[in-house]
Amino acid sequence: MVMPHTWLRELHTESTLADLPSHRYAASPLTTGSEVATAFDADPNLPGALICDGPRLVGMISRHVFFQRLSKQYSREIYLNRPIRILMDAQLPPPLCMPASRRISEAAAPALDRPHDQAYEPVVVRAADESVRLLDVYVLVRAQAHLLMMAHSAMLQSEKLASIGQLAAGVAHEINNPLAFATNNLSVLRRDAKVLAESVALYRSAHALIAVADPALSERLTDLDDRVDLAYTASNLPDLVDRAHEGLRRIQNIVKDLREFARADLGDWTDVDVNEGVASTANIIRGRANGAAVALDLDLRPVSFVHGNPGKLNQVVMNLLANAIDASRAGGRVWARTRSTPAGVVIEIQDEGAGIPPDVLERIFDPFFTTKPPGQGTGLGLSITYGIVRDHHGSIDVQSTPGRGTCVRVALPVNSTAATAAEPPSPVKVPVQA
Ligand SMILES: Nc1ncnc2c1ncn2[C@@H]1O[C@H](COP(=O)(O)OP(=O)(O)O)[C@@H](O)[C@H]1O
Ligand SMILES: [Mg+2]
Protein backbone atom coordinates (compact mmCIF):
# COMPACT_ATOMS: atom_id res chain seq x y z
CA MET A 1 0.00 0.00 0.00
CA VAL A 2 1.27 3.47 -0.84
CA MET A 3 1.14 5.72 2.19
CA PRO A 4 -0.11 9.18 1.29
CA HIS A 5 2.36 11.87 2.28
CA THR A 6 -0.07 13.87 4.40
CA TRP A 7 2.76 16.15 5.57
CA LEU A 8 3.26 17.29 1.97
CA ARG A 9 -0.11 18.98 1.96
CA GLU A 10 0.89 21.23 4.86
CA LEU A 11 3.95 22.61 3.10
CA HIS A 12 4.25 26.14 1.77
CA THR A 13 7.08 28.37 0.59
CA GLU A 14 8.01 29.37 4.14
CA SER A 15 8.17 25.80 5.45
CA THR A 16 11.37 24.77 7.20
CA LEU A 17 13.14 21.51 7.96
CA ALA A 18 11.23 21.45 11.25
CA ASP A 19 8.03 20.89 9.24
CA LEU A 20 9.32 17.62 7.75
CA PRO A 21 9.01 14.20 9.36
CA SER A 22 12.34 13.22 10.90
CA HIS A 23 13.72 10.50 13.15
CA ARG A 24 15.54 10.33 16.39
CA TYR A 25 17.26 7.10 17.22
CA ALA A 26 20.32 7.71 19.32
CA ALA A 27 22.86 5.10 20.22
CA SER A 28 25.84 5.56 22.52
CA PRO A 29 29.31 4.83 21.15
CA LEU A 30 29.20 1.66 23.24
CA THR A 31 25.93 0.32 21.83
CA THR A 32 26.61 -2.94 20.01
CA GLY A 33 26.17 -3.24 16.27
CA SER A 34 23.47 -5.86 16.74
CA GLU A 35 21.38 -3.46 18.84
CA VAL A 36 21.61 -0.88 16.06
CA ALA A 37 20.66 -3.56 13.51
CA THR A 38 17.59 -4.38 15.63
CA ALA A 39 16.58 -0.70 15.59
CA PHE A 40 16.88 -0.61 11.79
CA ASP A 41 14.79 -3.78 11.54
CA ALA A 42 12.09 -2.41 13.80
CA ASP A 43 11.54 0.77 11.75
CA PRO A 44 12.07 0.40 8.01
CA ASN A 45 11.85 4.20 7.61
CA LEU A 46 14.68 4.91 10.04
CA PRO A 47 17.39 6.50 7.86
CA GLY A 48 20.24 6.18 10.34
CA ALA A 49 21.46 6.17 13.90
CA LEU A 50 22.73 9.21 15.75
CA ILE A 51 25.72 8.37 17.91
CA CYS A 52 25.62 10.48 21.06
CA ASP A 53 28.06 10.57 23.92
CA GLY A 54 25.71 11.84 26.62
CA PRO A 55 24.11 14.95 25.20
CA ARG A 56 26.91 15.41 22.68
CA LEU A 57 26.52 14.26 19.08
CA VAL A 58 29.70 12.44 18.08
CA GLY A 59 28.66 10.91 14.80
CA MET A 60 26.03 9.32 12.62
CA ILE A 61 25.78 6.11 10.73
CA SER A 62 23.23 5.72 8.01
CA ARG A 63 21.24 2.56 7.36
CA HIS A 64 22.87 2.31 3.97
CA VAL A 65 26.46 2.53 5.21
CA PHE A 66 25.73 0.29 8.20
CA PHE A 67 24.50 -2.59 6.08
CA GLN A 68 27.14 -1.98 3.42
CA ARG A 69 29.87 -2.41 6.04
CA LEU A 70 28.13 -5.46 7.39
CA SER A 71 27.99 -7.08 3.98
CA LYS A 72 31.77 -7.33 3.79
CA GLN A 73 33.42 -10.65 4.52
CA TYR A 74 33.90 -11.43 8.23
CA SER A 75 32.57 -8.06 9.18
CA ARG A 76 29.35 -9.42 10.73
CA GLU A 77 31.42 -11.13 13.42
CA ILE A 78 33.44 -7.98 14.00
CA TYR A 79 30.74 -5.34 13.94
CA LEU A 80 27.64 -7.00 15.35
CA ASN A 81 29.23 -7.97 18.65
CA ARG A 82 31.33 -4.92 19.22
CA PRO A 83 30.52 -1.30 20.05
CA ILE A 84 29.24 0.83 17.18
CA ARG A 85 32.14 3.19 17.83
CA ILE A 86 34.37 0.81 15.85
CA LEU A 87 32.24 1.31 12.76
CA MET A 88 32.32 5.04 13.27
CA ASP A 89 36.08 4.99 13.45
CA ALA A 90 36.14 3.50 9.96
CA GLN A 91 36.57 7.02 8.60
CA LEU A 92 33.01 7.97 7.83
CA PRO A 93 32.70 11.50 6.47
CA PRO A 94 31.08 13.86 9.02
CA PRO A 95 27.32 14.14 8.49
CA LEU A 96 25.79 17.25 6.94
CA CYS A 97 24.25 19.37 9.72
CA MET A 98 21.61 22.05 9.24
CA PRO A 99 19.48 24.16 11.57
CA ALA A 100 15.80 23.16 11.79
CA SER A 101 14.85 26.72 10.93
CA ARG A 102 16.36 26.46 7.44
CA ARG A 103 13.84 26.72 4.63
CA ILE A 104 13.30 23.55 2.61
CA SER A 105 14.05 25.40 -0.60
CA GLU A 106 17.48 26.35 0.76
CA ALA A 107 18.27 22.96 2.30
CA ALA A 108 17.81 20.67 -0.67
CA ALA A 109 20.68 22.03 -2.75
CA PRO A 110 23.51 21.54 -0.19
CA ALA A 111 22.26 18.02 0.54
CA LEU A 112 22.24 17.07 -3.13
CA ASP A 113 25.49 18.89 -3.91
CA ARG A 114 27.47 16.41 -1.81
CA PRO A 115 29.63 13.86 -3.63
CA HIS A 116 27.47 11.26 -5.30
CA ASP A 117 28.20 8.48 -2.80
CA GLN A 118 27.09 10.76 0.05
CA ALA A 119 24.17 12.57 -1.59
CA TYR A 120 21.65 10.19 -0.01
CA GLU A 121 23.15 10.21 3.47
CA PRO A 122 20.60 11.53 6.00
CA VAL A 123 20.96 15.12 7.20
CA VAL A 124 21.35 15.98 10.87
CA VAL A 125 18.80 18.63 11.78
CA ARG A 126 19.58 20.73 14.85
CA ALA A 127 16.71 22.43 16.68
CA ALA A 128 17.02 25.72 18.57
CA ASP A 129 17.34 23.77 21.86
CA GLU A 130 20.35 21.91 20.36
CA SER A 131 18.44 18.62 20.14
CA VAL A 132 19.16 16.73 16.92
CA ARG A 133 17.10 14.55 14.59
CA LEU A 134 17.81 12.72 11.34
CA LEU A 135 16.16 13.70 8.09
CA ASP A 136 15.90 11.23 5.24
CA VAL A 137 17.12 12.90 2.04
CA TYR A 138 14.27 11.27 0.14
CA VAL A 139 11.84 13.25 2.34
CA LEU A 140 13.76 16.46 1.67
CA VAL A 141 13.82 15.89 -2.09
CA ARG A 142 10.16 14.92 -2.13
CA ALA A 143 9.29 18.15 -0.27
CA GLN A 144 11.45 20.23 -2.60
CA ALA A 145 9.82 18.66 -5.68
CA HIS A 146 6.39 19.39 -4.22
CA LEU A 147 7.28 23.04 -3.57
CA LEU A 148 8.70 23.41 -7.09
CA MET A 149 5.52 21.95 -8.52
CA MET A 150 3.46 24.41 -6.47
CA ALA A 151 5.64 27.31 -7.60
CA HIS A 152 5.33 26.18 -11.18
CA SER A 153 1.55 26.03 -11.10
CA ALA A 154 1.46 29.39 -9.29
CA MET A 155 3.55 30.82 -12.12
CA LEU A 156 1.27 29.37 -14.78
CA GLN A 157 -1.68 30.70 -12.84
CA SER A 158 -0.19 34.17 -12.61
CA GLU A 159 0.64 34.20 -16.33
CA LYS A 160 -2.88 33.11 -17.16
CA LEU A 161 -4.37 35.73 -14.85
CA ALA A 162 -2.11 38.44 -16.24
CA SER A 163 -3.42 37.84 -19.75
CA ILE A 164 -7.01 37.55 -18.55
CA GLY A 165 -6.38 40.78 -16.62
CA GLN A 166 -5.31 42.59 -19.77
CA LEU A 167 -8.32 41.30 -21.63
CA ALA A 168 -10.63 42.22 -18.77
CA ALA A 169 -9.18 45.70 -18.48
CA GLY A 170 -9.55 46.22 -22.22
CA VAL A 171 -13.14 45.03 -22.21
CA ALA A 172 -13.95 47.05 -19.09
CA HIS A 173 -12.52 50.12 -20.73
CA GLU A 174 -14.53 49.59 -23.93
CA ILE A 175 -17.73 49.00 -21.99
CA ASN A 176 -17.21 52.00 -19.76
CA ASN A 177 -17.90 54.68 -22.38
CA PRO A 178 -21.16 53.35 -23.82
CA LEU A 179 -22.17 52.50 -20.27
CA ALA A 180 -21.67 56.10 -19.24
CA PHE A 181 -23.79 57.54 -22.03
CA ALA A 182 -26.49 54.88 -21.69
CA THR A 183 -26.72 55.75 -17.99
CA ASN A 184 -26.85 59.49 -18.68
CA ASN A 185 -29.42 59.12 -21.43
CA LEU A 186 -31.56 56.95 -19.22
CA SER A 187 -31.61 59.70 -16.61
CA VAL A 188 -32.75 62.18 -19.27
CA LEU A 189 -35.31 59.65 -20.52
CA ARG A 190 -36.70 59.24 -17.02
CA ARG A 191 -37.25 63.00 -16.73
CA ASP A 192 -38.70 63.32 -20.27
CA ALA A 193 -40.96 60.30 -19.89
CA LYS A 194 -42.61 62.00 -16.94
CA VAL A 195 -43.33 65.11 -19.01
CA LEU A 196 -44.53 63.01 -21.95
CA ALA A 197 -46.90 61.07 -19.71
CA GLU A 198 -48.29 64.35 -18.41
CA SER A 199 -48.88 65.74 -21.87
CA VAL A 200 -50.51 62.49 -23.08
CA ALA A 201 -52.86 62.70 -20.10
CA LEU A 202 -53.72 66.29 -21.11
CA TYR A 203 -54.42 65.26 -24.72
CA ARG A 204 -56.61 62.43 -23.51
CA SER A 205 -58.62 64.85 -21.41
CA ALA A 206 -59.29 66.77 -24.67
CA HIS A 207 -60.74 63.65 -26.31
CA ALA A 208 -64.35 64.84 -26.14
CA LEU A 209 -63.42 68.08 -27.94
CA ILE A 210 -61.53 66.21 -30.69
CA ALA A 211 -64.52 63.88 -31.20
CA VAL A 212 -66.67 66.91 -32.02
CA ALA A 213 -64.07 68.69 -34.21
CA ASP A 214 -62.66 65.68 -36.10
CA PRO A 215 -64.54 62.38 -35.60
CA ALA A 216 -62.12 60.43 -37.88
CA LEU A 217 -59.06 61.52 -35.85
CA SER A 218 -60.92 60.74 -32.66
CA GLU A 219 -61.62 57.21 -33.89
CA ARG A 220 -57.94 56.66 -34.72
CA LEU A 221 -56.99 57.90 -31.26
CA THR A 222 -59.46 55.55 -29.55
CA ASP A 223 -58.17 52.69 -31.69
CA LEU A 224 -54.58 53.32 -30.74
CA ASP A 225 -55.51 53.75 -27.12
CA ASP A 226 -57.21 50.33 -27.14
CA ARG A 227 -54.33 48.66 -28.86
CA VAL A 228 -51.50 49.85 -26.65
CA ASP A 229 -53.40 50.43 -23.41
CA LEU A 230 -52.07 53.93 -23.16
CA ALA A 231 -52.92 54.41 -19.49
CA TYR A 232 -50.97 51.30 -18.49
CA THR A 233 -48.01 52.15 -20.74
CA ALA A 234 -47.77 55.63 -19.32
CA SER A 235 -47.94 54.43 -15.73
CA ASN A 236 -45.49 51.58 -16.34
CA LEU A 237 -42.85 53.75 -18.01
CA PRO A 238 -41.05 55.03 -14.87
CA ASP A 239 -40.82 51.47 -13.53
CA LEU A 240 -39.35 50.28 -16.78
CA VAL A 241 -36.72 53.00 -16.73
CA ASP A 242 -35.90 52.21 -13.07
CA ARG A 243 -35.31 48.55 -13.86
CA ALA A 244 -33.10 49.45 -16.83
CA HIS A 245 -31.19 51.70 -14.43
CA GLU A 246 -30.72 48.82 -11.99
CA GLY A 247 -29.41 46.64 -14.84
CA LEU A 248 -26.87 49.29 -15.83
CA ARG A 249 -25.85 49.71 -12.19
CA ARG A 250 -25.06 45.99 -12.00
CA ILE A 251 -23.02 46.17 -15.19
CA GLN A 252 -21.20 49.14 -13.70
CA ASN A 253 -20.31 47.09 -10.60
CA ILE A 254 -18.97 44.23 -12.68
CA VAL A 255 -16.90 46.64 -14.77
CA LYS A 256 -15.60 48.19 -11.55
CA ASP A 257 -14.62 44.75 -10.22
CA LEU A 258 -12.93 43.84 -13.49
CA ARG A 259 -10.90 47.02 -13.42
CA GLU A 260 -10.02 46.33 -9.82
CA PHE A 261 -8.79 42.88 -10.83
CA ALA A 262 -6.73 44.45 -13.62
CA ARG A 263 -5.30 46.98 -11.21
CA ALA A 264 -6.98 50.02 -12.68
CA ASP A 265 -5.98 52.32 -9.86
CA LEU A 266 -3.80 51.72 -6.85
CA GLY A 267 -5.00 54.46 -4.54
CA ASP A 268 -2.97 55.76 -1.63
CA TRP A 269 -0.33 53.63 -0.02
CA THR A 270 0.41 53.97 3.67
CA ASP A 271 1.65 51.90 6.58
CA VAL A 272 -1.16 49.50 7.28
CA ASP A 273 -1.98 47.88 10.62
CA VAL A 274 -3.10 44.49 9.36
CA ASN A 275 -4.60 43.48 12.71
CA GLU A 276 -6.79 46.56 12.81
CA GLY A 277 -7.96 45.83 9.26
CA VAL A 278 -8.77 42.19 10.04
CA ALA A 279 -10.61 43.14 13.23
CA SER A 280 -12.74 45.84 11.61
CA THR A 281 -13.51 43.72 8.55
CA ALA A 282 -14.50 40.83 10.82
CA ASN A 283 -16.87 43.18 12.63
CA ILE A 284 -18.49 44.22 9.38
CA ILE A 285 -19.05 40.64 8.28
CA ARG A 286 -20.03 39.29 11.70
CA GLY A 287 -23.71 39.86 10.94
CA ARG A 288 -23.47 37.58 7.93
CA ALA A 289 -21.64 34.95 10.01
CA ASN A 290 -24.32 35.14 12.72
CA GLY A 291 -27.03 34.84 10.09
CA ALA A 292 -25.40 31.63 8.85
CA ALA A 293 -24.85 30.40 12.45
CA VAL A 294 -21.10 30.36 11.88
CA ALA A 295 -18.74 31.34 14.71
CA LEU A 296 -16.00 33.76 13.75
CA ASP A 297 -12.81 33.55 15.84
CA LEU A 298 -9.92 35.99 15.71
CA ASP A 299 -6.37 35.18 16.74
CA LEU A 300 -4.32 38.27 15.99
CA ARG A 301 -0.67 38.21 17.04
CA PRO A 302 1.55 41.29 17.09
CA VAL A 303 2.70 42.07 13.54
CA SER A 304 4.65 44.85 11.85
CA PHE A 305 3.09 47.43 9.58
CA VAL A 306 2.66 46.47 5.95
CA HIS A 307 3.14 49.06 3.26
CA GLY A 308 0.03 49.09 1.12
CA ASN A 309 -3.50 50.21 0.53
CA PRO A 310 -5.63 49.62 3.65
CA GLY A 311 -8.95 49.55 1.80
CA LYS A 312 -7.71 46.99 -0.69
CA LEU A 313 -6.21 44.79 2.03
CA ASN A 314 -9.52 44.90 3.90
CA GLN A 315 -11.21 43.82 0.70
CA VAL A 316 -8.92 40.78 0.62
CA VAL A 317 -9.93 39.83 4.15
CA MET A 318 -13.58 40.51 3.36
CA ASN A 319 -13.57 38.29 0.26
CA LEU A 320 -11.80 35.44 2.06
CA LEU A 321 -14.06 35.63 5.12
CA ALA A 322 -17.17 35.76 2.92
CA ASN A 323 -16.05 32.63 1.07
CA ALA A 324 -15.19 30.84 4.32
CA ILE A 325 -18.62 31.66 5.78
CA ASP A 326 -20.37 30.65 2.56
CA ALA A 327 -18.57 27.29 2.63
CA SER A 328 -19.44 26.59 6.28
CA ARG A 329 -22.37 24.63 7.62
CA ALA A 330 -24.58 26.01 10.37
CA GLY A 331 -22.68 25.50 13.62
CA GLY A 332 -19.34 25.74 11.80
CA ARG A 333 -16.37 27.87 12.75
CA VAL A 334 -14.14 30.26 10.84
CA TRP A 335 -10.76 31.50 12.06
CA ALA A 336 -8.98 34.68 11.06
CA ARG A 337 -5.37 34.62 12.22
CA THR A 338 -2.40 36.89 11.77
CA ARG A 339 1.19 36.22 12.66
CA SER A 340 4.62 37.47 11.98
CA THR A 341 7.19 35.49 9.97
CA PRO A 342 10.78 36.36 9.10
CA ALA A 343 9.57 37.46 5.65
CA GLY A 344 6.56 39.48 6.71
CA VAL A 345 2.99 39.14 7.85
CA VAL A 346 0.74 36.16 7.29
CA ILE A 347 -3.05 36.39 7.28
CA GLU A 348 -4.79 33.06 7.49
CA ILE A 349 -8.50 32.44 6.99
CA GLN A 350 -9.52 28.91 7.82
CA ASP A 351 -12.87 27.16 7.76
CA GLU A 352 -14.20 23.70 8.48
CA GLY A 353 -16.56 23.90 5.54
CA ALA A 354 -17.13 21.96 2.38
CA GLY A 355 -13.53 22.14 1.10
CA ILE A 356 -12.56 22.42 -2.54
CA PRO A 357 -12.13 19.41 -4.85
CA PRO A 358 -8.80 19.43 -6.78
CA ASP A 359 -10.40 20.09 -10.19
CA VAL A 360 -12.20 23.14 -8.75
CA LEU A 361 -9.10 24.32 -6.89
CA GLU A 362 -7.32 24.94 -10.20
CA ARG A 363 -9.95 27.43 -11.26
CA ILE A 364 -10.96 29.38 -8.16
CA PHE A 365 -8.85 32.42 -9.08
CA ASP A 366 -10.32 32.63 -12.59
CA PRO A 367 -12.57 35.65 -13.10
CA PHE A 368 -16.26 34.68 -13.11
CA PHE A 369 -15.54 31.17 -11.84
CA THR A 370 -18.13 30.35 -9.22
CA THR A 371 -19.82 27.22 -7.90
CA LYS A 372 -22.52 29.27 -6.23
CA PRO A 373 -26.07 29.55 -7.57
CA PRO A 374 -26.78 32.49 -9.91
CA GLY A 375 -27.28 35.70 -7.99
CA GLN A 376 -25.20 34.49 -5.02
CA GLY A 377 -21.71 34.62 -6.45
CA THR A 378 -20.12 36.67 -9.20
CA GLY A 379 -16.94 34.60 -9.20
CA LEU A 380 -14.84 37.76 -9.00
CA GLY A 381 -13.96 37.72 -5.27
CA LEU A 382 -10.84 35.58 -5.50
CA SER A 383 -9.57 37.04 -8.77
CA ILE A 384 -9.74 40.52 -7.23
CA THR A 385 -8.09 39.18 -4.08
CA TYR A 386 -5.33 37.67 -6.19
CA GLY A 387 -4.76 40.98 -7.99
CA ILE A 388 -4.53 42.94 -4.75
CA VAL A 389 -2.13 40.49 -3.12
CA ARG A 390 0.03 40.51 -6.26
CA ASP A 391 0.11 44.33 -6.21
CA HIS A 392 1.35 44.17 -2.62
CA HIS A 393 4.15 41.81 -3.70
CA GLY A 394 2.61 39.12 -1.55
CA SER A 395 1.62 35.54 -2.20
CA ILE A 396 -1.53 33.58 -1.63
CA ASP A 397 -1.90 29.86 -1.25
CA VAL A 398 -4.86 27.65 -0.61
CA GLN A 399 -4.89 24.31 1.16
CA SER A 400 -8.13 22.44 1.08
CA THR A 401 -9.41 18.99 1.93
CA PRO A 402 -12.85 18.22 0.54
CA GLY A 403 -15.21 17.57 3.42
CA ARG A 404 -12.76 18.91 6.01
CA GLY A 405 -12.27 22.57 5.16
CA THR A 406 -10.04 25.17 3.62
CA CYS A 407 -7.19 27.37 4.73
CA VAL A 408 -6.21 30.40 2.66
CA ARG A 409 -2.87 31.92 3.57
CA VAL A 410 -1.89 35.39 2.41
CA ALA A 411 1.74 36.36 2.99
CA LEU A 412 2.63 40.05 2.73
CA PRO A 413 6.21 41.28 2.81
CA VAL A 414 6.95 43.82 5.53
CA ASN A 415 10.14 45.19 4.22
CA SER A 416 9.63 45.12 0.49
CA THR A 417 12.50 46.59 -1.49
CA ALA A 418 13.13 50.30 -1.24
CA ALA A 419 11.56 50.96 -4.64
CA THR A 420 8.34 49.25 -3.76
CA ALA A 421 8.21 50.63 -0.24
CA ALA A 422 8.45 54.19 -1.48
CA GLU A 423 5.83 53.98 -4.18
CA PRO A 424 3.29 51.57 -5.54
CA PRO A 425 4.47 49.37 -8.41
CA SER A 426 3.91 50.75 -11.88
CA PRO A 427 0.66 49.45 -13.32
CA VAL A 428 0.71 46.70 -15.92
CA LYS A 429 0.49 48.06 -19.41
CA VAL A 430 -3.21 47.83 -20.06
CA PRO A 431 -5.44 50.46 -21.58
CA VAL A 432 -7.17 51.47 -18.40
CA GLN A 433 -8.61 54.88 -17.71
CA ALA A 434 -7.62 56.33 -14.37
N1 LIG B 1 -13.30 28.78 1.71
C2 LIG B 1 -13.80 28.16 0.63
N3 LIG B 1 -14.35 26.92 0.76
C4 LIG B 1 -14.86 26.28 -0.32
N5 LIG B 1 -14.87 26.78 -1.58
C6 LIG B 1 -14.34 28.00 -1.77
C7 LIG B 1 -13.78 28.76 -0.68
N8 LIG B 1 -13.32 29.93 -1.19
C9 LIG B 1 -13.59 29.90 -2.52
N10 LIG B 1 -14.21 28.77 -2.87
C11 LIG B 1 -14.62 28.37 -4.23
O12 LIG B 1 -14.09 29.30 -5.16
C13 LIG B 1 -15.12 29.85 -5.96
C14 LIG B 1 -14.75 31.26 -6.39
O15 LIG B 1 -14.73 32.14 -5.29
P16 LIG B 1 -14.88 33.70 -5.54
O17 LIG B 1 -13.92 34.12 -6.59
O18 LIG B 1 -14.82 34.39 -4.22
O19 LIG B 1 -16.32 33.83 -6.18
P20 LIG B 1 -17.77 33.61 -5.50
O21 LIG B 1 -17.60 33.66 -4.02
O22 LIG B 1 -18.55 34.76 -6.03
O23 LIG B 1 -18.24 32.29 -6.01
C24 LIG B 1 -16.36 29.73 -5.11
O25 LIG B 1 -17.54 29.71 -5.87
C26 LIG B 1 -16.12 28.40 -4.39
O27 LIG B 1 -16.45 27.32 -5.22
MG1 LIG C 1 -16.47 35.07 -3.00
Mean pLDDT (the chain) is: 86
Per DSSP bridges, beta strands 405-413 and 306-308 are unpaired
pLDDT of residue 11: 83
Element (H, E) at 338: strand 333-341
Whole-Å CA distances, 413 to 180, 201, 308: 39, 67, 10
Burial group, residue 115, by CB count within 10 angstroms (0-12, 13-18, 19+): exposed
Measure 155 CA to ligand 1 centroid, in angstroms: 21
Q: How many whole angstroms separate alpha carbon 201 and alpha carbon 255?
A: 40
Residue partners of 300: CB distance under 8 A and separation at least 6: 275, 278, 279, 336, 337, 338
Which has more pLDDT, 70 or 24? 24
pLDDT tens, 51-109?
999 888 989 999 999 998 888 877 787 788 889 988 877 667 889 999 999 999 899 99
Please state the rounded mean pLDDT for residues 319-343. 95
pLDDT of residue 262: 65
pLDDT tens, 39-51?
999 999 999 999 9
Burial group, residue 300, by CB count within 10 angstroms (0-12, 13-18, 19+): middle
- Of 43-52, 143-152, 367-376, 424-433, minimum mean pLDDT range: 424-433
Element (H, E) at 346: strand 344-351
pLDDT of residue 264: 45
pLDDT at 121 over 50: yes
Please state the rounded mean pLDDT for residues 357-383. 88
Would you place residue 117 in the very low, low, confident or very high pLDDT band (cuts 50, 70, 90)? Answer: confident
Residue partners of 431: CB distance under 8 A and separation at least 6: 169, 170, 173
Measure 410 CA to ligand 2 centroid, in angstroms: 16
Q: Would you tell me how many other CB atoms lie within 10 Å of the CB of residue 179?
A: 15
pLDDT at 134 over 50: yes
Would you place residue 263 in the very low, low, confident or very high pLDDT band (cuts 50, 70, 90)? Answer: low
pLDDT at 214 over 70: yes
Measure 278 CA to ligand 1 centroid, in angstroms: 19
In the chain the first and final C-alpha atoms are separated, in Å, by 59
pLDDT of residue 303: 95
Burial group, residue 41, by CB count within 10 angstroms (0-12, 13-18, 19+): exposed
Would you place residue 294 in the very low, low, confident or very high pLDDT band (cuts 50, 70, 90)? Answer: very high
Q: How many whole angstroms separate alpha carbon 53 and alpha carbon 368?
A: 63
pLDDT of residue 378: 82
Three-state secondary-structure class, residue 412: strand
Q: How many whole angstroms separate alpha carbon 207 and alpha carbon 211?
A: 6
Q: How many whole angstroms separate alpha carbon 390 and alpha carbon 408?
A: 15
Question: Around 348, how many Cα atoms within 13 Å sit in the side-chain half-sphere?
Answer: 18
Among positive and negative, which fits the CA dihedral 319, 320, 321, 325? positive
With pLDDT > 90 as the criterion, what percentage of the chain qualifies? 52
- The pair phi, psi for residue 272, each rounded to 5°, is -110, 130
pLDDT of residue 261: 66
Whole-Å CA distances, 1 to 4, 142, 252, 423: 9, 18, 55, 54
pLDDT at 415 over 70: no
pLDDT of residue 18: 95
pLDDT of residue 310: 86
Q: Which atom of ligand 1 is nearest to the CA of 322?
A: 21
Length of the chain equals 434
Please state the rounded mean pLDDT for residues 98-122. 92
- Output the pTM of the full model: 0.60
Q: Which atom of ligand 1 is nearest to the CA of 369?
A: 14
Q: What share of the chain is helix, strand, coil (3-state, %, to 5)?
A: 50, 20, 30
Report the chain's C-alpha Rg in angstroms. 34
| Vertex 191: Cα angle to 190 and 195 (nearest 5) | 115
In sequence order, what E strands does 88-138 have?
97-99, 123-126, 132-135
pLDDT of residue 360: 94
Q: What is the DSSP string of 236-294?
A: HHHHHHHHHHHHHHHHHHHHHHHHHHTT------EEE-HHHHHHHHHHHHHHHHHHTT-
Look at ligand 1, atom 10, and give the residue with the nearest C-alpha: 323
Measure 368 CA to ligand 1 centroid, in angstroms: 10
Ligand 1 pocket, Cβ-based, cut-off 6 angstroms? 319, 323-324, 327, 351, 353-354, 356, 360, 364, 369-372, 377-383, 406
Neighbours of ion ligand 2 (CB under 5 A): 323, 381
Q: How many whole angstroms separate alpha carbon 290 and alpha carbon 342?
A: 35
pLDDT at 266 over 60: no
Q: Determine the residue of 328, 350, 364 to mutate for testing ligand 1's pocket, defined as the one with the most ligand atoms within 8 A of the Cβ atom.
A: 364
Would you place residue 1 in the very low, low, confident or very high pLDDT band (cuts 50, 70, 90)? Answer: very low
pLDDT at 9 over 80: no
User: Which neighbouring-strand residues pair with 98?
Assistant: 125
Would you place residue 4 in the very low, low, confident or very high pLDDT band (cuts 50, 70, 90)? Answer: low
